[in-house]
Structure 1
Amino acid sequence: MKLTVDISKYPLADNYIEPIKGFIEQLNQYQELHVITNTLSTQVFGDYEQVMAAVQDCIKWSFERYGKVVFVCKFLHGDLRPEQ
């Protein structure tokens, strides 16, 4: 089964750019996923199990590294990448 996740990250810190960039860099290490980033959010596309494992790992990494962070995620069934 394919999955699309739309993630917005809100670091509770004055220096908010570094935690956002760090999270995106972590997600991009998963070669089996397709990651698209824009000014509002990051979208992750791929196999359900792989997407969920990567998102879980990256959120945990972010909490451990940066402390208090708010994540807003939308989970959508299927691969909803924009047309190439």
Structure 2
Amino acid sequence: MKISVELTLTPLHDNYEPAIIQFITKLRASGLKVLENPLSTQVYGNYDEVMTILTSEIKDAFELIEHGLLFMKIVKSDRHDYEPHF
């Protein structure tokens, strides 16, 4: 089953950029389809593969920060090519 996941990692401390950069860099290297914008990162692929990679990468990201939030939305379909029709 294909899924689309939107992620927003928010470390709650100063000097937050290194943790975010490492998280996104590792997602890019995973082989998954990854798109970014200034507010979030989207990941697309097969459910099992995406969730396995995210489980590992989220844990690694949390180990780099003292306090933080991760917002995640999951859609059951691959929406990487979505374009508004209005």
> Normalising by the residue count of structure 2, what TM-score does the alignment of the two structures yield?
0.89
- Residue 77 (structure 1) aligns with: 76
Helix, strand or coil at the partner of 1:30: coil
Measured against aligned partners, the alpha-carbon deviations of 1:3-42 in whole angstroms (never above 9, x if no partner) come to 10000010011111111111101111211x1000110000
Residue identity in the other structure for 1:69: G
- Structure 2 CA distance for aligned equivalents of residues 65 and 19 of structure 1: 6
Residue identity in the other structure for 1:78: S
- Residue 17 (structure 1) aligns with: 17
Superposition misfits of 4+ residues, deviation over 6 angstroms: none
Aligned residues: 83
Helix, strand or coil at the partner of 1:75: strand
Q: Percent identity?
A: 36
Structure 1 unaligned residues grouped into runs of 5+: none
Structure 2 unaligned residues grouped into runs of 5+: none
Measured against aligned partners, the alpha-carbon deviations of 1:39-76 in whole angstroms (never above 9, x if no partner) come to 00000000100100111111000111223220000000
Helix, strand or coil at the partner of 1:21: helix
Instruction: Select the structure of larger CA radius of gyration.
Output: 2
Relative to structure 1, the CA distance from residue 77 to residue 27 in structure 2 (aligned partners, 3 Å threshold; closer, same or farther) is same
> Normalising by the residue count of structure 1, what TM-score does the alignment of the two structures yield?
0.91
Matches within 5 A, 1:1-84: 1-31=1-31, 33-83=32-82
